[in-house]
Chains A and B, each alone.
Chain A
Amino acid sequence: MSGKQAILGRIREALAHPSHPEVRTLAGNGERDVEKARAFMPPGGETVEERLQNFARLSEVLKVELVLVPDLEAAKESLNAMREVEGWTRIASHHHDLSDRLVTGLQPDLLWTDDQPGIDALERCEVGISVCEALIAQTGSILVTGKGCGGRALSVLPPHHVVLATRDQLLPDLYAGYEHLRKTYGDSLPSFISFITGASRTGDIERILVLGAHGPKRLTVVLIG
C-alpha cells in the first residue's frame, strides 16, 4: 500500500467518529465566511485617499520609505537622486512597461533578470528595482509574484529593494489581493507569490529590532500618481 493510501485510510478511519459536541461548542462555533470576516480585520480604506493614508501610516511604522511622486518624470528624478546618494553602480531590474520607462538609462550597465544573469551577478547588485502586483493598505504590504515582478530573487537578494507602483494599484485588504491574483492569473498562478511587509528584519537577539537580517535592509516604494 502506498504511503498516500495508508495515510488517507487512517484519516478516514479517524474521522468516522464525529467530533465531540462539547469541544465543538467550546472551541469551534464560528462561521467560516472569509469575505464577511473582512469587517473583523484591520481596515483598509473605502476610497483611494483612505487607502493611501493607511498605507503611508503603516509604511512609517514598518520603516518603509514611501516616495510620492506626481508622474513618471518625477519618479525618474527620484530614482536618479537615490542612485546619486547611495552610489549605485550595479542595478538589477526586469522588463515591464513601467520599469522599462523608468530604469532604462538610469545607468549604462543594467542587469535584467529576464536575461537570467545568475545568482552571483544578482548578488553583486546594490539595488533591485521591480514593479508589484498590488499594494495592500490594510497591512502596508507589497504583493509581488515570480512571474510579474522579475522572479523570486530580484526582490530579496539585493540589499535595497525599490518598488515601482501606481496609485491605482492600492487595494484595500489582503482579501482583495487574492481576488486580484485570481483575476490576473486565473488557474495558472505564478509559482511564487509573496506579501512583503517591511524590510527584512529580526528580533532574535534580545528582541532588539535589526533590519536586513537576510533580505533587503532598505525597502522603498515609489508611488506614482
Chain B
Amino acid sequence: MNKKTHSDELLVIKVRHPALHFLTSLLMTTPLSKFKSDTTESTVDVDHRLWMQAALHGYEDKRGGVETTFGDFEEAKKTAAAIKWEAIENLGTLLESFSDKLESRGTKVCWASNGKEAVDYILQVCRDHGTQKIIKSKCMTTEEIHLNPALQAEGMEVVESDLGEFIVQLREEEPFHFVFPAMHLKRDKISAIFEEKLGTEPSSDPEELTMIARNLMRRKYCEADIGISGANFGVADTGMISITENEGNARLTTSLPKVHIAVMGIEKVIPNMEDLSVLLPLLGTAGAGQWMTAYNSMIGGPRQPGEVDGPEEFHVVLVDNHRTRLLADPEQRDALRCIRCGACLNVCPIFKNIGGHSYGTTYQGPIGSVITPHLRGLQSYKHLSYSSSLCGACTDTCPVKIDLHHHLLRNRRDAVREKGGRMERFCFRQFAQVMSHPKLYRGSEGLMRLGAKLWSPLEGKKADPLKAWTSTRTLPSPAPKSFHRQWREQRGGDS
C-alpha cells in the first residue's frame, strides 16, 4: 500500500462555541465524553496539527531510508512476528524459566496480578531501604499502574530521567506519544517550563536545553537511593531484561543506585537471547527510523562476584494487570505481541489529527485503541475502536504484524454483542433483510422517497428524529429514479 495515500487529509470536526464547550466539559466525565471534548479542542489548532504531522512524517521518511538497508524487510518482520507469536503461545513456560534464571543469580522476582500489587511491592522495597530519592528511566508500565503518585504520596522524590518524560513531568501532563513523550512541544514551551520550574535562563537552542537537563540529572543519578526502569524484552533462556534507549539515562539509572527495580508487563518475555538480533534492529527502525537505538542493554542480575560495580539488589516486577484477560481472547491475544515501537501512531491519520492526549490512555494510537478496552473495560473505552478510519496503515507498518485494524473491528463487534441497543439490533436486522431480497429492496425505494418528503420540513428542527445525525451533516435526498429503474428504461430488459 502506498504510504502517502493514508496520511494527510485533515479530519473535519465541527467546532462548538467555546462557552458551550466549557459548559459541556463540566458535565462530561466519562472517557467517551472526555474524548469528545479533548478531540474537539486538539483539532482546532490547525497550525499545531500541521507541525505535529510534519514531525510524524519525519519518522516515517527516516524509516523508509533505513528499511532499504535490510536484506528483506518484509521477511525480517515475519520472523519478528513469529518470535513474538511463539512467546505468547508459550507465555507460562517462558515466564517461569525467565524468573528461575533471574532468581538463580540473586534477583528478586515479584509476580503482580494487578497494579496495586505491583505498587505495594515497590513501595515496600523503597521503605525497606529508607528511600528518599528515586531516579526513573522511561517505563510505560509504571504509568499504567500509576506508580509515581504513590511514591510521591510517601514523600519520596521521583525524577524521570528521559528528557521527554522529564519535560512532561515538569509540565504535569501525560506523555503525548509513548515513544516520543514531548513531541508536541516546541522549544519555547520547553524553555518556559525549565525557566519556571528550574529557574534557568530562557533558551531557544535545543542543545542548551538538553544540557540543562543533563547537568541537573547528573546529580540526581549519583544521589538516588533507587533506580526504577522498564524493560523492552525479558529473555527467558538467559534470565535477562533488555532495555532499548538513546540517551544513556537508563544505563545510568540501572548502574549507579544501590537498588534497581525493573517493572515489566508479562507479555515482554521472548524465548532466546538470539531473538534480539532480529527484534532490536526492527524496534529501532520501525518507530524512529534509526539503524539501532544507541544503547541496547541486557541486565541479568545485581552485581555478580568478580564485577566491579552495579546495584547490590535487583528486583524484577512482572505485571499482569488484565493482560491475561487479553490473552484469553483467541482472536485478539496477538495484540500482546506489540513491542511498543510507536510506528502505528506515526502513520495513523487519527493520531495525526487528534494527538496523543485526547486518547486519555497510557498507550495511545491504534495499539492503544485495541488493548485499552481489554485492560480497562470494553464499554468505557469502546469509542476508541471507532476513532479509526480503518485504512489499515497501522497493520501495514507494524513490525510484528499485528492485525490492528481488524482488531478494532472485533472490538466494535464485541461491544455491540455485549451490550447493543435493542433498537439498533432491530434496525440492522431489517436492513439485512431488505438488502438481501431484491424485491423487498425495490419496494422500499418508494417508501424511502415518501419518507424523505414527509421528513424534509422537520430537518434540523427540534422534532427531527434524526437530529443527532443531521446536526452536523446533511442527509442527501434520494434520487428521483433509482439506478435499477434507469437501467431498465434505457436499456430495456430486466436487470
Contact = CB atoms under 8 A, between A and B. Distances in A.
A214 B222 contact: no
A167 interface: no
Contacts of B164: 202, 204
A207 B164 CA distance: 11
B65 to A, nearest CB: 11
Interface string A57-79: 01001100000000000000000
Interface stretch (B25-33, B148-156, B295-303, B471-479): B295-303
B72 interface: yes
Given A27-B402, A191-B105, A213-B246, A14 B251 contact: no
Nearest to B284: A197
Contacts of B218: 123, 214
A39 B86 contact: no
A174 B282 CA distance: 12
B184 to A, nearest CB: 10
A207 B296 CA distance: 21
Contacts of B246: 200-203, 213
A17 B324 CA distance: 13
A43 B76 CA distance: 13
A20 interface: yes
Contact of A141 (B78, B80, B117, B292): B292
Given A11-B91, A27-B334, A152-B310, A205 B210 contact: yes
A17 B333 CA distance: 11
A166 B296 CA distance: 22
B111 A200 contact: no
Given A19-B333, A195-B295, A175 B112 contact: no
Contacts of A108: none
Interface string B129-160: 00000000000000000000000000000000
A40 B296 contact: no
A11 B105 CA distance: 25
Contacts of B273: 178, 181-182
Contacts of B324: 7, 10-11, 13-14
A156 interface: yes
Given A40-B71, A174-B277, A178-B274, A32 B222 contact: no
B95 A34 contact: no
Given A196-B295, A208-B206, A40 B75 contact: yes
A114 B92 CA distance: 40
Nearest to B87: A32
A128 interface: no
Interface in B278-305: 278, 280-281, 288, 291-304
Interface-central residue, A15, A147, A208, A212, by most chain B CB under 10 Å: A15
A6 interface: yes
Interface in A194-222: 194-208, 210, 212-216
B382 interface: no
Contact of A34 (B79, B167, B281, B333): B79
Contacts of A119: 221-222, 256
Contact of B247 (A23, A94, A151, A214): A214
Contacts of B55: 206-207
B161 interface: yes
A39 B252 CA distance: 34
Interface in A1-25: 2-4, 6-8, 10-15, 17-20, 22-24
Nearest to A12: B92
A194 B79 contact: no
Given A14-B324, A19-B330, A191-B303, A202 B89 contact: no
B307 A191 contact: yes
Contact of A213 (B81, B95, B247): B247
B112 to A, nearest CB: 6
A39 B207 contact: no
A194 B298 contact: yes
B255 A152 contact: yes
B49 interface: no
B255 to A, nearest CB: 4
Nearest to B300: A191
B295 A210 contact: no
B170 interface: no
A117 B208 CA distance: 31
A5 to B, nearest CB: 8
A12 B324 CA distance: 9
A101 to B, nearest CB: 20
The 3 closest A-B CB pairs, nearest first, are A215-B248, A30-B78, A213-B247
Given A26-B403, A34-B278, A41-B71, 15 more contacts: A3-B110, A14-B333, A15-B89, A15-B327, A29-B78, A30-B81, A40-B79, A40-B278, A43-B71, A123-B222, A178-B276, A191-B300, A197-B293, A202-B164, A214-B218
